[in-house]
Amino acid sequence: MRAGPSQEDIRRHNLGALLRHVHLGGPTSRAELTSKMGLNRSTIMALTSDLTAAGLVREELPRETGRAGRPSLVVRPESARVYVFAFDVSPDRIAVARVGLGGVILDRRETVRRRGVFVLEELTGALAGFARQMRRKTRDDTVCVGAAAAVSGGVRKADGVVTFGPNLKAEEAPFGEELGRKLGLGLPVSVGNDANLAALAEHSRGVGVAVRDLIYLHGDVGIGGGIIAGGHLLGGHDGYGGEVGHMVVNPDGRACGCGSHGCLEAEVGERALLEAAGRFGAGPQGRDAVRAVVEAADRGDIVAQEALSRVGDRLGLGVANLVNIFNPEMVIFGGMLREVYLGSAAQVRTQLALHAMGPQRERLRLRTSALGDAATLVGAAELAFAHVLADPLEVLARANT
Amino acid sequence: MTPLLEVRGIDKSFGPVKVLHNVELSAYAGEVTALVGDNGAGKSTLVKCIGGIYPIDAGTIFFDGGPVAIHTPRDAGELGIEIVYQDLALCDNLDIVQNMFLGREHKRGLLLDEDTMEELAEKTLSGLSVRTVKSIRQQVSSLSGGQRQTVAIAKAVLWNSKVVILDEPTAALGVAQTAQVLELVRRLADTGLAVVLISHNMNDVFAVSDRIAALYLGRMAAQVKTADVTHAQVVELITAGRSGDLGLKNGVTP
């Protein structure tokens, strides 16, 4: 039986906590870190010099403080030196970014993806190819400390296998393992559900900073979600939590890819909107097609207006259910749901007024994503940085060898 | 919670035509209050009374809890009330920084302090997460409608306004730019300002507002929380002045 954490555990924890402050909050002076972390000045100094020696942060004199006295040194993340690879796989698009410590997107590649086919070899090959291209352009003193991917599908917590992804056509795909092998960096690739990761991204860097209870809704071909309760992502028993797209909002409704009927995804997803607007099958797909419907509605096309208002009603019903169950402080609309919400807010909030309970909707804030299209990539990068923040020196030592 | 800006019992006539009857309006810090009403309901007149352009015939304006006298636009500006009109009042031949500091330029000795102004303008725009403008030394004539609106709104923030009143900011914009302006309006309130948004578009109103104030034929039909009303109720308040228990009784404020 142990009495408590050892000296070494405490030091590791403090190093991670300090690095997290700088990673999320940007350049911070030692004095601010002292008051934010509640540690004394000499401890902060010892911690920063350890992190500086490891090349994770660097200290600089501030430009001007406007105050009297010797200025406190500012601790900055070594964004250009320490980086991770973030991958994003959605039905229409794959993207790879090189993201520096501190969350700076240093480099980014993306390409369209053909819908309806999922060949693991081909997909991971393309992603790893992009990563290699970007890696070749980096300086010699840079170091890659992690990699993670956001995937539009259900990811099993235990082994990172994409167990289902009706919109990707993926099934039981050992995606992380395969991508890790193709990358050949000797780093494991963590995998997460895209909406879950986007929720974390909005929570740590987006519109939901300092909001402990939020629900992020992600619209793509389908509808995904991430629920953050009390500051933690609700992962569920196996990691499939937050699949709000399969909440039934109309039992007699449209058939859903999951086999059920009237799921939020089937009633509000891209196909539902395009079919209702009489635009399915012909012309563009994806985000552009959704935008075109919203634009047509704005110009006075009554078919598009009708379609948008029907979709808005169903979306509002779904949000009302979520609000009643989780009592979030904020609901964030991301992906194509940003456009859908702004174009049908009257319907969405009408359904909320009718179906959400008074006390729950009283202080509820509805917002659109602040990170926009980058939300899923930023989320993947945060996942990749997670183990660096848990044990900075150990991870860096391993990456340097 | 006391409203940051409150008007009570405002009357306004133009000659024999009475355009505002005993109007009340409250705007709270950190919230967007949507001011809605049909054409000719008195929205713009009310705003111009608050902005010191029209003198009021009767009534009181309270700012931060205390009564204030606003006789000129300068009075309103000094209190921290900024109005962004539909025509935006930007100078096409000047760049973004020059427009933002127009009439309140920073000086260093006899010269303009361009560096400080540029830095402050940059900081304000990035503080509002405005990423659409490429260079702040761009001439305003080269900007799109949405970007102009953004500059006009950012100007209000730069001058430390406490209340920002926006008259139909999305009226002439396409969908993508409307979305950006709406998000900016929301961020403005989230940073602690009291925002009054005049709009005819019900989706815009519901997308960003916390409260809705509906004017009907020069009277305030109702001020409600957006979370408590439906689209149909707001439309009824605008077109008939009442909806169920809400609104005017026999044409007058209950």
Locate A193 and state its tokens: 């559900």
Backbone φ, ψ for residue A142 (5° rounding): -80, 155
Please give, rounded to a whole number of angstroms, the shortest distance from the CA of B202 to a CA of chain A: 6
ipTM: 0.90
How many angstroms separate the Cα of B182 from the Cα of each of B10, B151, B201, B204, B251?
A: 29, 14, 12, 7, 33
Contact status of A339 with chain B (Cβ, < 8 Å): yes
B179–A349 C-beta distance less than 8 A: no
- pLDDT score of A1 more than 80: no
Kindly report the number of other CB atoms within 10 A of residue B74's CB atom.
Answer: 10
Contact status of A349 with chain B (Cβ, < 8 Å): yes
Digit-coded pLDDT (tens) for A75-118: 999 999 999 999 999 988 999 999 999 999 999 999 988 887 88
What gap in Å lies between CA A123 and CA B110, rounded to an integer? 63
A298–B174 C-beta distance less than 8 A: yes
Of A345, A366, A367, the CB nearest to B203: A345
Q: Chain B residues with CB-CB distance to A under 8 A?
A: 129, 174-176, 178-179, 182-183, 186, 202-208, 226-232, 234
Please give, rounded to a whole number of angstroms, the shortest distance from the CA of B190 to a CA of chain A: 10
Please give, rounded to a whole number of angstroms, the shortest distance from the CA of B71 to a CA of chain A: 37
First vs last C-alpha separation in chain B: 23
Q: Identify which of B41, B35, B24 has the alpha carbon closest to the alpha carbon of residue B168.
A: B35
Q: What is the pLDDT of residue A66?
A: 60
Determine which helix (DSSP H) or strand (DSSP E) holds A77, and give its type and residue range.
strand A74-77
- pLDDT score of A65 more than 70: no
Contact status of A279 with chain B (Cβ, < 8 Å): no
Please give, rounded to a whole number of angstroms, the shortest distance from the CA of A237 to a CA of chain B: 34
A298–B178 C-beta distance less than 8 A: yes
Q: Which residue of A has its CA nearest to B207?
A: A345
- A348 CB neighbours in chain B (<8 A) are 206
What gap in Å lies between CA B153 and CA B165, rounded to an integer? 9
Of A294, A341, A349, the CB nearest to B226: A349
- pLDDT score of A155 more than 80: yes
Residues paired with residue A76 on neighbouring β-strands, in sequence order: A58
Q: Identify which of B165, B152, B151, B215 has the alpha carbon closest to the alpha carbon of residue B53.
A: B165
Contact status of A343 with chain B (Cβ, < 8 Å): yes
Q: Which residue of A has its CA nearest to B191?
A: A207
User: Residue A153 in contact with residue A131, Cβ under 8 Å?
Assistant: no
Q: What is the pLDDT of residue A103?
A: 93
Of B129, B175, B231, the CB nearest to A346: B231
Q: Which residue of A has its CA nearest to B170?
A: A298
Judged by DSSP in three states, B156 sits in helix
User: Residue A118 in contact with residue A179, Cβ under 8 Å?
Assistant: no
Please give, rounded to a whole number of angstroms, the shortest distance from the CA of A366 to a CA of chain B: 8
How many angstroms separate the Cα of B38 from the Cα of each of A371, B159, B236?
A: 36, 32, 11
- B203 CB neighbours in chain A (<8 A) are 342-346
Of B179, B227, B230, the CB nearest to A342: B179
Q: Where are the alpha helices (DSSP H) in A59-174?
A: 120-136
Contact status of A316 with chain B (Cβ, < 8 Å): no
**A284 band by pLDDT with thresholds 50, 70 and 90:** confident
Least confident of A38-52, A54-68, A206-220, B146-160: A54-68
Kindly report the number of other CB atoms within 10 A of residue A33's CB atom.
Answer: 25
Locate B228 and state its tokens: 């408590």
Please give, rounded to a whole number of angstroms, the shortest distance from the CA of A352 to a CA of chain B: 7
What gap in Å lies between CA A148 and CA A175, rounded to an integer? 11
The parts of chain B modelled with pLDDT lower than 70 are 88, 251-254
A367–B186 C-beta distance less than 8 A: yes
More confident site: B141 or A352: A352
The amino acid at residue A197 is: L
Owner of token pair 């309103």:
B76
Q: What is the pLDDT of residue B251?
A: 67
Mean pLDDT of chain A, nearest integer: 91
Q: What is the pLDDT of residue B143?
A: 85
Please give, rounded to a whole number of angstroms, the shortest distance from the CA of B169 to a CA of chain A: 15
Contact status of A341 with chain B (Cβ, < 8 Å): yes
Q: What is the pLDDT of residue A281?
A: 79
A338–B207 C-beta distance less than 8 A: no
Please give, rounded to a whole number of angstroms, the shortest distance from the CA of B234 to a CA of chain A: 10
B176–A346 C-beta distance less than 8 A: no
- A93-100 and B246-247 strand pairing: unpaired
Q: What percent of chain A has pLDDT over 70?
A: 98
- pLDDT score of A150 more than 90: yes
**A64 band by pLDDT with thresholds 50, 70 and 90:** low
Determine which helix (DSSP H) or strand (DSSP E) holds A36, and give its type and residue range.
helix A30-37
Dihedral sign of CA atoms B229, B232, B237, B241 in order: negative
pTM: 0.92
For an interface test with A, the pick among B201, B205, B206 (most A C-beta atoms closer than 10 Å) comes out as B206
Q: Which residue of B has its CA nearest to A312?
A: B203
Q: Which residue of A has its CA nearest to B185?
A: A367
Digit-coded pLDDT (tens) for B122-154: 888 887 777 777 788 888 888 888 888 888 888
How many angstroms separate the Cα of B134 from the Cα of each of A226, B88, B96, B121, B138?
A: 33, 20, 11, 13, 8
Backbone φ, ψ for residue A280 (5° rounding): -80, 140
User: Residue A75 in contact with residue A30, Cβ under 8 Å?
Assistant: yes
More confident site: B49 or A157: B49
Residue-range domains of chain B with CATH: 5-94+161-247 (3.40.50.300)
Owner of token pair 């920002």:
B164
Residue-range domains of chain A with CATH: 7-64+71-77 (1.10.10.10), 82-197+376-400 (3.30.420.40), 209-370 (3.30.420.40)
